[in-house]
A and B are shown apart, each in its own frame.
Chain A
């Protein structure tokens, strides 16, 4: 039973990271209907910036955490300005392929830095003894990671619900023409959505980097592993991202804990999310919380 609860705890930890990474996709998709495949690379970039600022420059880690968020905020905004602004109104395949191309370019840029091939890990800044409660243990990094994730997601939800910019973003996602007619600058909202996604990506990157160590392959792969989460939750729902993130985290942990090694199975944690995703899509084509599109000829 302790094993079960241990899996639940680590499932929630992994799931909340997924939720934070998925948030970036949802922010961009919600406002501009673009699926950003390069998100994993932005996550990795954010994590590397935190590390570089902490270790190479020597800032305190909390300062560099915030600084990295600010840097990726502007980086993602300029990516939108340079690459995606001129593709507004192009077919969906072009937009997807541009983000794929972007992924490739960012890969190349990161390979140019020392982070491309070497492994690093963050300096310890939290107590190293894990907290233990009735046999179930959770490390301080994981706990702090989950708390920061919860805070960030809460802040984003508040931002969308209450702030003027958040409301204008929701307006754009609802109807671009109507939003324009009440004086919202649609391109500016797109840029802001990317910037917000960059910000959340840096947060996610720093947290993942603290838990798993800094390895470009792992961090970059997050962009792909997080797809089942986004689709399961519905591409345009923040609640969906959180719920689906935690569901996927739990599924992966249970698969790794109970399936691997039995019946000759191995590595099921990598494949099970996709199988479940396919099954769910057959019954709910817009994910669990996604809005149904009404199409007119």
Chain B
């Protein structure tokens, strides 16, 4: 390691310990802390409308969910077309309980951090269960097995009276220090709650990836036969990749239920699974910053598409329904263009910028 740990040009690792650090340089650490401070402090200075807060909260929830998807699809290389179902499992852990014992029960409104953890646990259990076929199935067959889980989940929610047959199940307002979280501060409160969870989850993933188990995931993705020969257990590794994905998805689902003060089946359909996949890919599969960029990019795109179709509705005849057409068109084009021209996603742009600054004034 060079003497100046703030402005190192290039990597100078002299031991494996150094390579496994969370922050390679002091600059990384400093920037990360600055970034976090900005995230926590900006609501104090700007008075954001509820609509903006809603979008930002949605993005952060998707970030937590995409951590999980990135673990299973990006790092372990197992295609999951059923991620929204895992999110749904988490959401319905809270909502189902609220339906059974009443929306204002102390367990739901006082012990909500515990409920979020429980939802994560439930997601993990389902993840492990769905991951079991991964012991034997590969590639496309596995992708379709996860798709089956998605279909079975949607059907269960839609037709079971236990879950109000997919109709909205209300969940009460939570209680925090100083009493109930009221309507005015609802989104702000959940912004902080979700932000804290997202940061904790991000650190968890980062730590996992530098540990033995995280490296195991990558080894199994690159070649599971070779990983087997090196003494890892590919089957178990795949199952726990799904378990972890289920955990993060479950946490995201619980946050979703609390923030929307309820859950209905429309938020957890196949379409959403595909959206999560698109977020992971646009952000960059198998990269941690990608999990942040992807959801932000996709939500921004959707917002812009909405604006565009509203604007076009002012001068186009009604019969020409551009509004319904624009969303799938824009969404599909973004996915296809990214895969064709930047398959490593937006995280690659970030990497290029970083290495440019790091190596400056040298070009290579």
**A102 contact from B158, B159, B330, B336, Cβ within 8 A:** B336
A87–B340 contact, CB under 8 A? yes
Q: Are A35 and B140 in contact (CB under 8 A)?
A: yes
- Majority SS of interface residues in chain B? helix
Q: Does B145 contact A (CB under 8 A)?
A: yes
Q: Which of B15-23, B60-68, B103-111, B321-329 contacts A (4 or more CB under 8 A)?
A: B321-329
B148 touches A274 (CB 8 A): yes
Q: Interface size on B (CB < 8 Å)?
A: 53
> In the complex, which residues of chain B have a beta carbon less than 8 angstroms from the beta carbon of A114?
319
Instruction: Check A90 for interface membership: any CB of B closer than 8 A.
Output: yes
- A297 near B225 with CB under 8 A, answer yes
The answer to whether the Cβ of A63 comes within 8 Å of any Cβ in the partner chain is no
Would you list which residues of chain A between 272 and 288 have a CB under 8 Å from chain B? 274-275, 277-278, 281-282, 285-287
Which residues of A sit under 8 angstroms from B357, Cβ to Cβ?
none
Query: Closest CB-CB distance, A56 to chain B, in whole Å?
Result: 15
In the complex, whether A5 has a CB less than 8 A from a CB of chain B is no
> Within the assembled complex, what's the spacing in Å between the Cα atoms of A177 and B340?
24
Partner of B152 from A94, A101, A274, A282 at Cβ < 8 Å: A274
Asked if B155 contacts A104 (CB within 8 A), the reply is no
Query: Is the CB–CB distance between B226 and A297 below 8 Å?
Result: yes
Whole-angstrom distance from the CB of B38 to the nearest CB of chain A? 32
B339 within 8 A of A: yes
Q: Which residues of chain A are within 8 angstroms of B117 by Cβ–Cβ distance?
A: none
Which residues, 242 to 297 on A, are CB-close (under 8 Å) to B?
A: 264-267, 270-271, 274-275, 277-278, 281-282, 285-287, 293, 295-297
A182, CB-defined interface residue at 8 Å:
no
Chain A residues whose C-beta falls within 8 Å of the C-beta of B144 in the assembled complex: 227-228, 231, 277, 281
The stretch from B3-11, B131-139, B182-190, B244-252 touching chain A is: B131-139
Complex interface: chain A residues within 8 A of B147 (CB): 224, 227, 274
Interface residues of B in 60-112 (CB under 8 A from A): 73, 77, 79
A111 touches B136 (CB 8 A): no
Contacting B136 at CB < 8 Å: which of A102, A282, A293? A282
Closest A residue to B322 by beta carbon equals A112
- Complex contact A100–B335 (CB within 8 A): yes
A109 close to B (CB within 8 Å): yes
Instruction: Flag if B325 contacts A94 (CB, 8 Å).
Output: no
B343→A104 contact, CB < 8 A = no
Q: Tell whether B333 is near chain A: CB-to-CB under 8 Å.
A: yes
Interface: B50 (CB within 8 A): no
Query: A105 in the interface, Cβ–Cβ < 8 Å?
Result: yes
Tell me whether B335 and A97 are in contact (CB under 8 A): yes
Residues of B within 8 A of A238 (CB): none
Q: How near does chain A come to B226, taking the closest CB pair, in angstroms?
A: 5
| Stretch touching chain A among B173-181, B197-205, B254-262, B273-281 | B273-281
Contact B140 A235 (CB under 8 A): yes
Most A Cβ at <10 Å: residue of B133, B139, B320, B328? B328
Query: A117 within 8 Å of B by Cβ?
Result: yes
Given contacts A108-B332, A112-B320, A274-B148, contact A281 B133 (CB under 8 A): yes
Tell me whether B159 and A86 are in contact (CB under 8 A). no
Q: Is A202 an interface residue (CB 8 A)?
A: no
Interface: A14 (CB within 8 A)? no
B335 lies within 8 A of A101 (CB) = yes
In the complex, chain A residues whose CB is within 8 Å of the CB of B285 = 93
Docked-complex contact B336 and A98, CB < 8 angstroms: yes
Q: Give A296 to B223 CA distance when docked, in angstroms.
A: 10
- Does B35 belong to the interface (CB within 8 Å)? no
Closest chain B CB from A185 CB (angstroms): 22
A200 contacts the other chain (Cβ, under 8 Å)?
Answer: no
A297–B148 touching, CB < 8 Å: no
A43 to chain B, nearest CB (A): 17
Residues of chain B with a CB closer than 8 A to A116's CB: 321, 324-325
**Would you call A159 an interface residue if the criterion is a C-beta within 8 Å of the partner chain's C-beta atoms?**
no
**By the criterion CB–CB under 8 Å, are B225 and A295 in contact?**
yes
A64 at the interface (CB under 8 A from B): no
| Chain B, Cβ-Cβ closest to A92 | B139
Chain A contacts for B192, CB-based, 8 A: none
List of B residues within 8 angstroms of A231 by Cβ: 140-141, 144
Nearest-CB residue, chain B, relative to A297: B225
Residues on B with beta carbons closer than 8 Å to the beta carbon of A120? none
Further pairs besides A91-B77, A271-B151, A285-B141: 15, Cβ < 8 Å:
A35-B140, A83-B340, A101-B333, A101-B336, A102-B336, A105-B333, A228-B144, A231-B140, A266-B159, A271-B155, A274-B148, A275-B152, A285-B137, A296-B225, A297-B226
23 residue pairs of the A-B complex, CB under 8 angstroms, read A35-B140, A83-B340, A92-B79, A93-B79, A97-B281, A98-B335, A101-B331, A101-B335, A108-B332, A111-B321, A111-B325, A112-B325, A114-B319, A117-B324, A228-B148, A231-B141, A235-B141, A267-B155, A274-B148, A278-B145, A281-B133, A281-B145, A282-B136
A-B pairs, 7 with minimum CB distance: A104-B332, A108-B329, A101-B335, A105-B332, A111-B325, A274-B148, A101-B336
